[in-house]
Amino acid sequence: MSKTALQISIDRERESLAAYLCELLAPVAAVGAASWDSPVRLDAVLQAALPHIGGCKLVYAVNCDGRQYSANISSRHIDESMRGQDLAVRPYMQRIAQEETFVLSPVYVDKNDRKPCVTGIYKVLGIDGEVMGCIAADYDLAALPGRQQASSLAMPAQWRQIKGDPAIRQNLFQQERVTSAMDEQLDQVNDIITDLLINRGVFHAKLHYSSSRATLWLYEDPHRYRLHVLDEIIDPSVCLAYPRTLYPADATVDADLLPQILNRFAALRRADSTVYLRAASLNIVNGMVGLNFSCDGSHYMSVEEFLSKGDSFWFGCD
């Protein structure tokens, strides 16, 4: 089964983090091997290494049997009560016991501070190459350097269908669309949304047909959305609240297609009284539309694919 773009991004970042932490922990494992015969001296080695291993929040040593050999060493204290605790059941301990010199754990949520973390584990070898144990270092994920650019996380523009609430789905045929206030003003809404997208810096618009509201995101201020109730979004003067702006140079949707897309949203809203569109969104930069139907099923696809679909495609919605 081929990997998704999300999984590829995760794998790429894990590879970078593994290489980074492996380089940091290798010298600690080498120095620790010389002090492995004395837990007290090993604690001192780990304490001295702590400031030099990339913002690690906890470092400790583990024997080949999976029991903790050192104290827990953190920047705040040395906790000897953890010496001897059984860590053998942790999956990454099983991997280090096999063949790998370094293992990076999966991301997990620390049970103490509730933050996403990873653990780097480096195998400790004696003079003749025998495995003595390993050095383990716990890191807050937020404290580690990120290697990827945000653009590398972009999702592919392919159709995705996501099923919604089973309680809504099982009662689908007991409900019927009620004409909303927005339904009665859809042509006016579409005309104003078109202008906001083309001339007023809005790059992402979501229309909530059933509740008669719109949420808008501005290209120049993408971290905050604007919420408009129907009376505001059908008033052409709302355009004055948004500065005149050129259509984004990196938009992937031709401005001439916007009326067609919004009219298609309206058609899906009106096409059937049982399976009908509840909300729809359009992002002109990534070229995607999002659709949520009365069955609580959601669809995400490119503008091109959306415009190519006929009614028969939608009303098999489950």
CB 36 within 8 A of CB 133: yes
**Which of 230 and 153 is assigned the larger pLDDT?**
230
Within-domain flag for 148 = no
131 occurs within a structural domain: yes
48 and 18 share one domain: yes
- The CATH number for 67's domain is 3.30.450.20
**168 lies in the same domain as 40:** no
Per-residue tokens: 143:
């404290």
Residues 166 and 34 in one domain: no
Together in a domain, 210 and 305? yes
Domain count for the chain: 2
Task: Give the confidence band of 167 by pLDDT, cuts at 50, 70, 90.
Answer: very low
- Are residues 129 and 29 both part of a single domain? yes
For residues 71 and 100, membership in a common domain is answered with yes
Given this model, what pLDDT does residue 197 score? 96
| Span 248-306, pLDDT tens digits | 999 999 999 999 999 999 998 887 777 788 899 999 999 999 998 877 678 899 999 99
27/159: higher pLDDT: 27
289 and 188 both lie in a single domain: yes
> Looking at the structure, do residues 126 and 173 belong to the same domain, yes or no?
no
d(CA 164, CA 152): 28
Let me know whether 104 and 218 are in one domain: no
pLDDT for 154 equals 55
Nearest to 120 by CA among 8, 49, 24, 13: 24
In the beta sheet, which residues pair with residue 60? Answer: 136
Reported confidence tier of residue 317, pLDDT bands at 50, 70, 90: very low
Residues 202 and 162 occupy one common structural domain? yes
Q: CA–CA separation, 148 vs 152, rounded Å?
A: 6
Residue 307 is predicted with a pLDDT of 93
What is the predicted pLDDT for the residue at 159? Answer: 58
d(C-alpha 3, C-alpha 93), whole Å: 26
pLDDT at site 94: 66
pLDDT at 129 (0 to 100): 82
Q: Are 299 and 160 in contact (CB under 8 A)?
A: yes
Q: What average pLDDT does the chain have?
A: 85
Is 151 part of any domain? no
User: Domain span at residue 278?
Assistant: 156-314
Structural domain ending residue among the three candidates 143, 169, 191: 143
3-state DSSP: the chain helix, strand, coil percent, rounded to 5? Answer: 40, 25, 35
The terminus-to-terminus CA distance of the chain in angstroms comes to: 25
Do 243 and 116 lie in one domain? The reply is no
Same domain, 139 and 202: no
The first and second tokens of residue 208, run together, are: 């909530």
Q: What's the whole-number mean pLDDT along residues 97-124?
A: 86
Q: Tell me whether residue 249 is in a domain.
A: yes
Condensed to tens digits (0 to 9), the pLDDT of residues 3-38 reads 766 678 788 888 999 999 999 999 999 999 999 999
What pLDDT is attached to residue 169? 47
Q: 143, 164, 199 — which closes off a domain?
A: 143
Compare 160 and 230 and report the one with higher pLDDT: 230
